[in-house]
Amino acid sequence: MEFWPLRPSTTDFRLPIEQTATLLARTSESRGKLLAADMLKLVSAQVPLAQCTIFAYSPNRSPQIISFADRARMIELPRISSNYAERFYSMDGNQQAMTARQALPTAERIMVQRQGIEDIAHRDYRRICYELPQISERVALLTHCEGNRWLSVNFYRGREHGRFAPHEINVIETAAPLIVQVSRLH
């Protein structure tokens, strides 16, 4: 497991104008359920992905599930997301990244956190959230919001895709400012 402040982009990320317009238009429609599907479509055009889940974290509370989407792999994703929010979020690498970011005096707005199945020591967390849905790895984009809240946009890699390559993480980082801003607007 590792995390870092968003790095400067070295990748050319092309986004069709109609997809940009759709993303921005939906922010005023309160269609949060489609948000993860939109993000999955946006990034998976260049990086193979299995799932996307978006959570909002408030202090001393379980995270709120904002949106989730799956590439037709698992009908259980709502239950998996609920299990994570109710039982496992405190063991997640995102917690360490959020804590570390708060300790930095002039921290970046966006943190990137990478977690593989081998990073998860808790047996049930690993089994329910990674083994059953056949997830090998996750890259999360985290941003600190008003009221000491956090927003996390999580992209999950299926076992069939292998681990994220450095250039694929760079694609996600290049799109991160747009992804985070659109998610915040929702």
Indicate the CATH number of 44-160 among 3.30.930.10, 3.40.120.10, 1.10.150.390, 3.30.450.80. Answer: 3.30.450.80
Residue 131 pLDDT grade (very low, low, confident, very high; cuts 50, 70, 90):
very high
Helical spans, DSSP H, in the chain: 17-26, 32-44, 77-83, 93-103, 123-126, 166-185
Global pTM reads 0.89
Domain boundaries, the chain: 44-160
d(CA 62, CA 175): 27
pLDDT tens, position by position, 46-92: 999 999 999 999 988 889 999 999 876 666 788 888 888 888 988 88
